[in-house]
């Protein structure tokens, strides 16, 4: 299975919270780590933001399963 996961459903641990959603895009960051732009199924509320986050950047190392 390749590193490009565009359109796939994923689960990840993001800033201590379990999140899930659909991958919008995949990229290789400077240094070689893979990162995904993910549209979340359920928006996540963080204490430092007024509005819930609907989109997050997930590193490949944060993926669950």
Task: Report how far residue 44's alpha carbon sits from residue 54's, in angstroms, rounded to the nearest whole number.
Answer: 7
Q: What is the mean pLDDT of residues 52-56?
A: 96
Say how far apart CA 21 and CA 42 lie, in whole Å. 8
User: What is this structure's pTM?
Assistant: 0.91
At residue 46 the predicted structure's pLDDT band, cuts being 50, 70 and 90, is confident
Residues 6+ apart with CB under 8 A from 34: 3, 26, 27, 28, 59, 60
DSSP-assigned states of every residue in 11-47: EEEETTEEEEEEEEEEEEPTTS-EEEEEEEEEEE--T
Q: Which pair of tokens denotes residue 43?
A: 């928006």
């Amino acid at each position: 299975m390749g590193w490009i996961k565009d359109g796939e459903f994923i689960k990840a641990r993001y800033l201590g919270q379990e999140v899930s959603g659909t991958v919008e895009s995949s990229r290789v960051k400077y240094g070689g780590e893979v990162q995904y732009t993910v549209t979340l199924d359920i928006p996540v509320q963080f204490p430092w933001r007024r509005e819930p986050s609907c989109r997050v950047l997930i590193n490949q190392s944060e993926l669950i399963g």
